[in-house]
Amino acid sequence: MNKQLKVFSGGSHPEFCKSICRHLGIELGKSTTVRFSNENMMVQIEENVRECDVFVVQTSASPVHENLFELLIMIDALRSASASRITAVMPYIPYIRSDKKDRPRISITARLVADLLKTAGADRVLTMDLHSAQAQGFFRMPVDQLLGAGPICDRLRQEEGRENWVLVAADAGEAKDLGRYANRLDLPMAIIDKRRDGDDERPRAVSLIGDVKDKVAVIVDDEIASGGTLIEAATFLKEKGADKVLATATHPIFSSNAAERIDGAFIDKVFVTDTVPLRANQQSEKVEVISVAKDFAEAISRIHDGRSVSELFHAKKPMKQG
């Protein structure tokens, strides 16, 4: 593509965006966001973007709604400034877990967010590890989804004693995603079987499909929010004889006091990526952050040049076909 490549950052994760630009070897685009006393917002693009191929980086981080609206305003400003193509780079998409109508009279909010991006003027979306496969169909534009399994597995290969590891899905719904890790690391899997005793009760672990006795159990999930599911799973695995528990997650949401709870849990280490920034009160000595800025930079370069994005994570580490 002959159009000039430009990358702009919203306010949610500026260091991540700067890292992307360093990998691309370009300067970060200049823009200013003004917040008025009436809580309205104005975004001004401070350089020429006419006929440029523009990428706007904004993730779902607190304050979620303000960051989402800043992204929409920025996309609209870029469209008004005659940008040739606008890609919303959203490592973690807000409301992506609200992907089905599981209660009466509620919104499928993930689809609403997709519609808002389209209305604002986005031409495509670049993200990582959507919560569910069907969410990609909510977008009436191309969506490139990167996989956190690649960079996380690259890091896990550096750990010693992997011959004694077992990968664990915290529930049956995570089993398919767990396969990506099992194929890359050539490790066995186990699944925690959860059941509900009543409509108002939370699911509880009742059995384990697989064996973790005297092994290192590695819990794999797409995100960690409050940490409740992770800690419950770690406790259950300890009861089943696991020698140690590690965990991985692409998106470290770490709501409430998740970091504090992880510090006090039967978990030795948690590997996460930097799709979401960790604030000071979300830090933990047990948590190691793996940067995926290089992966996003490579994807942006491929989209800009018209090359395949899927080759980024399939060519080097092919997954077994079912």
pLDDT digits (tens, 9 = 90+) for 175-187: 888 999 999 999 9
User: Which of residues 238 and 322 earns the better pLDDT score?
Assistant: 238
| Tokens 């767990």 sit on residue | 178
Are 280 and 299 found together in one domain?
Answer: no
Q: What is the pLDDT of residue 311?
A: 86
Are 134 and 259 found together in one domain?
Answer: no
Are 108 and 160 found together in one domain?
Answer: no
Are 90 and 197 found together in one domain?
Answer: no
Which pLDDT tens digit goes with each residue over 124-167?
A: 999 999 988 789 999 999 999 999 999 999 999 999 999 999 99
Is residue 89 domain-resident? yes
Is residue 278 domain-resident? yes
Tell me which residues are annotated as active site: 194
Q: What is the pLDDT of residue 173?
A: 80
Q: What is the pLDDT of residue 200?
A: 44
Are 45 and 31 found together in one domain?
Answer: yes
Are 159 and 279 found together in one domain?
Answer: yes
Q: What is the pLDDT of residue 132?
A: 86
User: Can you list the positions of beta strands (E) in the chain?
Assistant: 5-9, 31-35, 41-45, 53-57, 85-90, 124-128, 143-146, 165-169, 189-195, 204-209, 216-224, 244-252, 269-273, 287-290
User: Which of residues 145 and 319 earns the better pLDDT score?
Assistant: 145
Is residue 319 domain-resident? no
Does residue 219 surpass a pLDDT of 70?
yes
Are 278 and 300 found together in one domain?
Answer: no
Is residue 322 domain-resident? no
Q: What is the pLDDT of residue 54?
A: 98
Q: What is the pLDDT of residue 246?
A: 98
Are 260 and 133 found together in one domain?
Answer: no
Is residue 142 domain-resident? yes
Q: What is the pLDDT of residue 267?
A: 98
Does residue 322 surpass a pLDDT of 80?
no
Domain membership of residue 226 as a residue range: 150-290
149/272 Cα distance (integer angstroms): 10
Is residue 172 domain-resident? yes
Does residue 2 surpass a pLDDT of 80?
no
Q: What is the pLDDT of residue 137?
A: 93
Are 143 and 250 found together in one domain?
Answer: no
What's the chain's average pLDDT?
93
Are 306 and 285 found together in one domain?
Answer: no
User: Which of residues 200 and 210 earns the better pLDDT score?
Assistant: 210
Q: What is the pLDDT of residue 288?
A: 98
User: Which of residues 41 and 206 earns the better pLDDT score?
Assistant: 41
Is residue 247 domain-resident? yes
Which pLDDT tens digit goes with each residue over 13-48?
A: 999 999 999 999 999 999 999 999 999 999 999 999
Q: Count the helices and strands in the chain (H runs, E runs).
A: 9, 14
- Residue range 239-259: average pLDDT? 96
Are 58 and 93 found together in one domain?
Answer: yes
Q: What is the pLDDT of residue 197?
A: 60
Is residue 26 domain-resident? yes
Q: What is the pLDDT of residue 204?
A: 80
Does residue 1 surpass a pLDDT of 60?
no
Are 170 and 271 found together in one domain?
Answer: yes
Does residue 315 surpass a pLDDT of 90?
no
Determine which of 33-47, 72-86, 117-131, 189-203 has the lowest per-residue pLDDT on average.
189-203
Amino acid letter for position 192:
I
Does residue 237 surpass a pLDDT of 90?
yes
- What's 207's domain CATH number? 3.40.50.2020
The tally of domains found in the chain comes to 2
